[in-house]
A and B are shown apart, each in its own frame.
Chain A
Amino acid sequence: NAGVTQTPKFRVLKTGQSMTLLCAQDMNHEYMYWYRQDPGMGLRLIHYSVGEGTTAKGEVPDGYNVSRLKKQNFLLGLESAAPSQTSVYFCASSPTLWTGPRDTEAFFGQGTRLTVV
């Protein structure tokens, strides 16, 4: 049971380059999330998705795009990387919330450390 897998684990980009971070989950979860975490900060939500084909903006969406073409995958794209996007990126997934009186937990990947020089 792999859970949530992020690819790649490390990457160095030059300013202006583009790249895509891949998040894959094998738990058939509806909800998926992308966060960034900077030193001394908590996690800030970039974008999220409540189902296949749908995406929504979080707290810090500027400079990022996302796609959820398949339920199990959530892609985070940087079209023109900037040094301010140097961060650790975490992906998470969770089941549908409204399944009754109980709420559900989110599962996180191990993170992608991105450096933009």
Chain B
Amino acid sequence: DAKTTQPNSMESNEEEPVHLPCNHSTISGTDYIHWYRQLPSQGPEYVIHGLTSNVNNRMASLAIAEDRKSSTLILHRATLRDAAVYYCILRDRRGSTLGRLYFGRGTQLTVWP
């Protein structure tokens, strides 16, 4: 299964943009890139996902490299409520591993007021 690599932690000041990187050099052509986040004492929640093109939604933007071996989650203006662990995940849709959803350790984002 293709894996992802993220920094253990990042910091930002409130109202500044945040760029959270993820490397996935062994991604396959049918893997979707998903991002989830986990607020303290809660279950993870979906943030955004994409395949090849950059994506935007009300929470964030996802920038995907042309070779798809890396991606960046962009929070345009960080707030204190964005402090969480952010997970970059490849959604495996093939064969016997169809439906499996693996998380890693993610990136702990600290936002300073």
Contacts and interface: CB of A to CB of B under 8 A. Distances in A.
Contacts of A50: 98-99
A97 interface: yes
Interface stretch (B14-22, B61-69, B74-82, B85-93): B85-93
B104 A42 contact: yes
A7 to B, nearest CB: 14
B99 A43 contact: no
Contact of B103 (A31, A43, A107, A110): A43
Contacts, number: 65
B102 A48 contact: no
Nearest to B6: A42
Contact of A105 (B34, B42, B102): B34
A4 B45 CA distance: 12
A107 B103 CA distance: 14
Interface string B1-34: 0000000000000000000000000000000101
A92 B46 CA distance: 11
A56 B102 CA distance: 14
14 contacts: A31-B101, A33-B101, A42-B105, A90-B44, A94-B99, A98-B93, A103-B51, A103-B91, A105-B46, A106-B44, A106-B101, A108-B44, A111-B41, A111-B42
